[in-house]
Amino acid sequence: MRVRVAVNGYGTIGKRVALAVARQDDMELVGVVKKSVDASAFQAVALGLKLYTPTSEDSKLFEKAGLKVYGTLQDLLGKIDVIVDATPGGVGQQYKPLYEKFGVKQVYQGGERPEVAEASFNSLCNYKDVIGRKSVRVVSCNTTGLLRVICAIKRYVDVERVRAVIIRRAADPKEVKRGPINSIELDPPRAPSHHAKDVRTVLPDLDIVTYAVAVPTTLAHVHHVTLRLGKSVSREDIISILDSTPRIIIINSERTGITGTAGLIEVARDVRLRYDIPELVVFEDSILVDDREVMLFQVVHQESIVVPENIDAIRAISGMEVDPLKSIEKTDLSLGLTRKLW
Ligand code: NAD
């Protein structure tokens, strides 16, 4: 039987998760909840998705714009097993009592406080811990990127300590009012940044410190990560570990000419839907290994990296698949994530 899923909040993350759910043969996308009438509401209808609104008051605006509404969020909650909440940070917490009332399982996003859910989630790090839970929170894009590289290496060698500098995109492409537009802003000025704390919601014992700056770009985040491992490794070991891990792409700058986010996104424009890169991209040429210390640059496409994690989270809490690698493989196959851009 397919698990019945709905998405509340059809924005940057919600629209991507909705389409990803629709591609799963073990899930059914019952509907999406839109609050405001905008271009993506028309696009959702054009894609054949069923629109619901938070309240019947909201639906009047949709009907005025000629958009068919199938009911309210409450109507939808009566028809589903899992709700993916992709509303703006903090709004999911407000909806939680309603979700609980209807007895649906919940997947929240990284903008919510960790307490919103029983556990924070990353597919590679703690899939088994959340099987059958009532609610999970998929951690933010930056945290997902950090956890991908840490847990990839942790599968083979103990990771004792992580230090990372996050060079954060100022805004998503559609966010015209956010900045900075001409500054490199310490984010926040007082170290450390909150990302380390967020990583520890999944790996509570990890020694990790993060700094962050926000820069005037919308394409992607870049991280400089330094990991101290439990034993000495070679550069070849690290490349081979990363190369054999799902959802990680290794790019060689010398061979491809790609030296940053613009080059990467340009390739994705040619080969990917919406130029999404849900994989973590590691620049091979940036990998330095000195005994137990590994340093590298990695790229996080903020709009899409959490999408496959949301699909695995649905599968884990529904108890449909107990093997993380099998869920990851199924999700990645359905989304065309082949760990290669060409
Ligand atoms: P967004 O603003 O693009 O989308 C949110 C959507 O929710 C909008 O369509 C908005 O109209 C709708 N909405 C607002 N109030 C609502 C309500 N009361 N009921 C139903 N819908 C409502 O936001 P986003 O970037 O998709 O972020 C969603 C969540 O995902 C946040 O927790 C955010 O922190 C997290 N996240 C965002 C990114 C990113 O880079 N954009 C990456 C990872 C995680």
DSSP states along 7-47: EE--SHHHHHHHHHHHT-TTEEEEEEE--S-SHHHHHHHHT
In a domain, 342, yes or no: no
Task: Verify that 197 and 233 share a domain, yes or no.
Answer: yes
CATH of the domain at 32: 3.40.50.720
Task: Verify that 97 and 199 share a domain, yes or no.
Answer: no
Task: Verify that 319 and 291 share a domain, yes or no.
Answer: no
What's residue 44's pLDDT?
97
**Inter-axis angle of helices 235-243 and 141-154, nearest 10:** 120
Mutational pocket test of ligand 1: of 109, 136, 299, the residue with most ligand atoms within 8 Å of the beta carbon: 109
For residue 278, how far is its CA from the centre of ligand 1 (angstroms)?
17
Q: Tell the residue nearest (CA) to atom 15 of ligand 1.
A: 87
As beta bridge partners, residue 119 has: 136
Q: Tell the residue nearest (CA) to atom 37 of ligand 1.
A: 13
Q: Tell the residue nearest (CA) to atom 21 of ligand 1.
A: 9
Three-state DSSP at 61 gives helix
Q: Which residues are catalytic?
A: 141
Task: Verify that 172 and 221 share a domain, yes or no.
Answer: yes
* 252 contacts 285 by C-beta, under 8 angstroms: yes
Three-state DSSP at 173 gives coil
Number of H helices, E strands in the chain: 13, 15
Ligand 1, residues at Cβ distance < 6 Å: 8-14, 33, 35-36, 54, 86-89, 91, 109-112, 140-141, 172, 302-303, 306
- Count of the separate structural domains present in the chain: 2
Does residue 158 register a pLDDT over 90? Answer: yes
Shortest-distance atom of ligand 1 to CA 112: 32
For residue 194, how far is its CA from the centre of ligand 1 (angstroms)?
19
pTM for the full predicted model? 0.98
Task: Verify that 288 and 194 share a domain, yes or no.
Answer: yes
Q: DSSP class of residue 50?
A: P
Pairing mode of beta strands 280-283, 221-229: unpaired
Backbone angles phi, psi at 5, to 5 degrees: -125, 145
Task: Verify that 218 and 121 share a domain, yes or no.
Answer: no
What's residue 243's pLDDT?
96
In a domain, 286, yes or no: yes
Which residue range forms the structural domain that includes residue 59?
3-138+306-335
For residue 14, how far is its CA from the centre of ligand 1 (angstroms)?
7
Q: Tell the residue nearest (CA) to atom 41 of ligand 1.
A: 303
Does residue 339 register a pLDDT over 90? Answer: no
Task: Verify that 29 and 57 share a domain, yes or no.
Answer: yes
Task: Verify that 178 and 322 share a domain, yes or no.
Answer: no
Paired tokens of 66 = 């000629």
* Residue 127, CB-side half-sphere exposure with 13 Å CA sphere: 24
Task: Verify that 283 and 312 share a domain, yes or no.
Answer: no
Paired tokens of 186 = 């310490």
301 conformational bin, left if phi > 0, alpha if psi -120 to 50, beta if neither = beta
For residue 207, how far is its CA from the centre of ligand 1 (angstroms)?
30
In a domain, 253, yes or no: yes
Task: Verify that 123 and 176 share a domain, yes or no.
Answer: no
* 127 contacts 313 by C-beta, under 8 angstroms: no
For residue 321, how far is its CA from the centre of ligand 1 (angstroms)?
28
Does residue 275 register a pLDDT over 90? Answer: yes
Give the pLDDT confidence of 192-221 residue by residue, as tens digits: 999 999 999 999 999 999 999 999 999 999
Q: Tell the residue nearest (CA) to atom 20 of ligand 1.
A: 9
Let me know the angle formed at the C-alpha of 141 by 76 and 170, rounded to the nearest 5 degrees: 110
* H or E element, residue 6: strand 3-8
Mutational pocket test of ligand 1: of 87, 93, 99, 122, the residue with most ligand atoms within 8 Å of the beta carbon: 87
CATH of the domain at 242: 3.30.360.10
Amino acid sitting at position 321:
E
Task: Verify that 14 and 148 share a domain, yes or no.
Answer: no
In a domain, 340, yes or no: no
In a domain, 220, yes or no: yes
* 33 contacts 10 by C-beta, under 8 angstroms: yes
In a domain, 319, yes or no: yes
DSSP assignments along 226-292, one per residue: EEEESS---HHHHHHHHHTSTTEEEE-HHHH---SHHHHHHHHHHHSGGG---SEEEEGGG-EEETT
Give the pLDDT confidence of 68-98 residue by residue, as tens digits: 999 999 999 999 999 999 999 999 999 999 9
Paired tokens of 61 = 């605006």
Give the pLDDT confidence of 215-241 residue by residue, as tens digits: 999 999 999 999 999 999 999 999 999
In a domain, 52, yes or no: yes
List the one residue out of 278, 269, 245, 221 whose CA is nearest residue 19: 278
In a domain, 232, yes or no: yes
Does residue 140 register a pLDDT over 90? Answer: yes
What's residue 340's pLDDT?
84
For residue 92, how far is its CA from the centre of ligand 1 (angstroms)?
9
Task: Verify that 145 and 78 share a domain, yes or no.
Answer: no
Q: Tell the residue nearest (CA) to atom 12 of ligand 1.
A: 9
Shortest-distance atom of ligand 1 to CA 11: 4
Alpha-carbon distance of 342 to 326, in angstroms, equals 24
